[in-house]
Amino acid sequence: MNSQNSRYEERLGTDRMLPLVFKMALPAVAAQFVNLLYNIVDRIYIGHIPEIGTDALAGVGVTTSIIILISAFSSIVGAGGSPLAAIALGQGDRVRAGEILGNGFVLLILLALSTSFMAYVFMEPVLLLTGASERTLPYAVDYLSVYLLGTVFVEISTGLNMFINCQGRPAVAMCSVLVGALLNIILDPVFIFALDMGVKGAALATIISQACSAVWVLGFLSSDRATLRLEKRYMKADKEVILSMLALGMSPFIMASTESLVGFVLNGRLERFGDIYVSALAVLQSAMQFASVPLTGFAQGFVPIASYNYGHGDKQRVKDCFRMAVIVMFSFNFVLMMLMVCFPTLVAAVFTDDDRLVETVRWTMPLFLAGMTIFGLQRACQNMFVALGQARISILIALLRKVILLVPLALILPHFMGVSGVFASEAISDAVAAICCTLLFAWQFPKILRRMPVRSA
């Protein structure tokens, strides 16, 4: 292994914690902000298509549930495998780290092929279930039928990128996202307007961009610049490695996939009140992503540090890492959510010039995002559980917010509050889940630290 490259990895256990956290996290945050543009830019352009913009936006909005569900499978490998690889690197076990990466790559390919096939076969029934109407279904089918052709690129680029981070190379991981996102921004107006392809053009621009990101990721992981390389000898299926990856990856998978479940439930409930509310939800979820996606990026920065030092047996560095993560994630999320709650019409105007839709977003956004103001606490605690390999606790927290709380609330509250109840269910579940997760972490974290392995020499 090249000594210059190895220093990137070793700094996870030696550099001063504050600059290290930001050095690792800021490129990942920037990458996630740019990655957010994949969906946001599509929706901005689609929402401004003359005459059909609002209906097309609603149609693309209902595809989000399926897209999130498909993309969530990449988190089994990325968010589940990369912390395990980082722990192994901290313990000096490079063979196990290589086996995790190799098995993860094979698993990603299998997941991509199977999920895209199932989604294509059952596309229209599922879209109708998620809230598509006669007016919006054609746009949803046009977008998704093209998008599914590039599922394998999405899985590879998002699933393997985190293995670059765990080697202490966040700038390289950021570049893989930048390549695709910037290309997407350029291609969107060309395909949507210049070539008059509409929503199909938006989907085509996205999969071409993701393919370029996937090539970048594979190119780095197969090169001599990587301290943890993707090698053929490690691609033989290992039951123990795959099961451990599935166990830890199930929490981030549930966290991501339940966003899809929410889409099914919320869109289905809102469609009964009118397509305008489905369009509004597409805007609200995009606004929510402006906070949640950077939090995901920051987590991708601090999780490898916590995992490496946990494997290395350095208790103080693990505690220092978490302290900085919770302060930054809570503060950032709180400020951004409050700005959106106070100025909803400014957010709405980015996505549409339809006065009726802007007005709908104006009164629903404060209700929808109120619980998100403290959600930074949950993201910090939950990702720390994942970083420390605490699979069971992570799964419980992931299920709590969306499955145990949000789905029942979304089904019950509209009977008492009308359409407001659908939006309020999100706020209530976010707040309750954040409080419960924080209390659980305060109880379990000292116990986990006491069980840490003895510090490596």
Whole-number pLDDT of residue 297: 79
436 near 400, Cβ under 8 Å? yes
Report which of 62, 146, 159, 65 is spatially closest to residue 111, judged by C-alpha positions. 159
Please give the full DSSP string across 365-403, using - where no structure is assigned.
Answer: HHHHHGGGGGHHHHHHHHHHHHHTT-HHHHHHHHHIIII
The percentage of the chain sitting over the pLDDT mark of 90, rounded to a whole number, equals 26
User: Residue 140: how many CA atoms within 13 Å on its side-chain side?
Assistant: 30
**pTM for the whole structure:** 0.73
The pLDDT score that the predictor gives to residue 263 is 66
Span 218-254, pLDDT tens digits:
999 998 888 888 988 888 888 888 898 888 888 778 8
pLDDT number for residue 59 = 79
Mean per-residue pLDDT for 55-59?
78
- Residue-wise pLDDT tens digits, 365-394: 999 999 999 999 998 998 898 888 887 787
CA 379 to chain centroid = 12
Residue 30 has what pLDDT? Answer: 74
What's the pLDDT at 299?
A: 84
Task: Flag whether pLDDT at 457 surpasses 50.
Answer: no
Concatenating the DSSP letter of every residue in 215-261 gives: HHHHHHHTSTT-SS---GGG-S--HHHHHHHHHHHHHHHHHHHHHHH
Count of positions (residues) in the chain: 457
Give the residue, 30 or 330, on which the prediction is more confident.
330
Which amino acid is present at 40? I
Q: Is the pLDDT higher at 180 or at 221?
A: 221
Tokens of 299: 């987590």
The pair of structure tokens assigned to 101 is: 């990466």
| Residue 260 confidence class, pLDDT cut points 50, 70, 90 | low
> Is residue 421's pLDDT more than 70?
yes
Average pLDDT taken over every residue of the chain:
84
Instruction: Take residue 211 and report the two structure tokens written for it.
Output: 């393919």
Instruction: Please indicate whether residue 13 or residue 121 has the higher confidence score (pLDDT).
Output: 121
Say which residue, 16 or 10, is predicted with more confidence: 16
11-31 mean pLDDT: 78
- Helix, strand, coil share of the chain (percent; to 5): 85, 0, 15
Q: Are 337 and 373 in contact (CB under 8 A)?
A: yes
Mean per-residue pLDDT, 89-101: 88
- pLDDT band (50, 70, 90) for residue 407: confident
pLDDT in the model for residue 413:
93
Q: How confident is the model at residue 36, as a pLDDT?
A: 67
Query: Is the pLDDT score of 445 beyond 90?
Result: yes
Give the pLDDT mean for 273-288.
Answer: 83
Mean of pLDDT values over 312-327: 90
Q: How far apart are CA 81 and CA 447, in angstroms?
A: 24
Inter-residue long-range contacts of 115-124, CB under 8 Å, 24+ positions, other chains counted? 115/69, 115/70, 115/73, 115/151, 116/70, 116/148, 116/149, 116/151, 116/152, 119/66, 119/70, 119/144, 119/148, 119/151, 120/145, 120/148, 123/66, 123/148
Query: Coil, strand, or helix at residue 94?
Result: helix
Q: Tell me the one-letter amino acid at 213.
A: S
Q: Distance between CA atoms of 236 and 251, rounded to whole angstroms?
A: 25
d(CA 83, CA 96): 12
Q: Cα(190)–Cα(234) distance, rounded to whole angstroms?
A: 42
The residue-averaged pLDDT of 158-175 equals: 83
Distance CA 66, CA 132 (A): 12
Question: Is the model's pLDDT at 1 over the cut of 60?
Answer: no
Is residue 167 over pLDDT 50? yes
